[in-house]
Amino acid sequence: MSETFPDAAPSQPATVTVLDHPLVQHKLTRLRQRDTSTAGFRRLTRELSLLMAYEATRDLKLEPVEIETPLEPTTGMLLSGKKLCFVSVLRAGNGILDGMLDLVPAARVGHIGLYRDPATLEPVEYYMKLPDDLSERLCIVVDPMLATGHSAVAAVSKLKQQGARQITFVCMLCVPEGLATFQAAHPDVRIVTAAVDRGLDDHGYIRPGLGDAGDRLFGTK
């Protein structure tokens, strides 16, 4: 199950979907714990992202196909046309990407490299590699945290510049400040998350949060 909050804008009604499934909330709580090891954090992120992928791919189109079961002919449903592109916001997005590729291994993959300037908290691009046919696919942008929102806004803006028309943003955690920034820039983009936390501290970190997702995924400080 999920809880959906319509955006207040009268046009292009984007939504924020907060997943309240017991397994999602259980794994998120384990991720938050300080004593979760690097290996455990990596495993839990992969498992959580697989669960979140079910909601993120809800809008994929299907088409009927005639098949033969071992007993008789029947009509089934398969994904229609060109389907998915997962876009990882480096580096921490790769933790979510792995779990989603477990579910949809044939998806195309793009990468956008951004880091947050510690003084301005603004995103700085250092890498971008995307498939050519973004306009024909659902693009699912993955990044563990939607904090200030600036990196997410920049990543989605890059996708739109490259022709993407259907975009969903997936994160494990977000805060009201980041949601406001993101939706002001991209009111047409749906957000799927596991929790909306209290807010940002003076350094732009999510509270209560789960620490730096990239450092916890890769064992760096």
Residue 2 confidence (pLDDT): 52
Confidence grade of residue 118 (pLDDT, cut at 50, 70, 90): confident
Compute the average pLDDT of residues 66-79.
96
Domain-embedded: residue 219:
no
Look up the CATH number of the domain holding residue 29.
3.40.50.2020
Angle between helices 38-56 and 93-103 (to 10 degrees): 60
Q: Give the structural domain span for 139.
A: 2-6+20-62+78-199
Question: pLDDT digit string (tens) for 173-221?
Answer: 999 999 999 999 999 999 999 999 999 998 888 999 999 898 899 888 6
Residue from 4, 38, 120, 220 carrying the catalytic annotation = 120
Report how many domains make up the chain: 1
The answer to whether 120 is a known catalytic residue is yes
Residue 206 among known ligand-binding residues: yes
In DSSP terms, 154 is beta-bridged to none
The answer to whether 57 is a known catalytic residue is no
In DSSP terms, 87 is beta-bridged to 110, 141
Domain-embedded: residue 220:
no
Residue 150 among known ligand-binding residues: yes
Residue 19 among known ligand-binding residues: no
Please, what sign has the CA dihedral across residues 40, 175, 159, 117? negative
Whether 58 shows a pLDDT value over 60: the answer reads: yes
Domain-embedded: residue 14:
no
Whether 8 shows a pLDDT value over 60: the answer reads: no
Domain-embedded: residue 11:
no
As a whole number of angstroms, the distance between CA 164 and CA 12 comes to 16
Domain-embedded: residue 221:
no
The answer to whether 42 is a known catalytic residue is no
What percentage of the chain exceeds 90 in pLDDT? 68
Global pTM exceeds 0.95: no
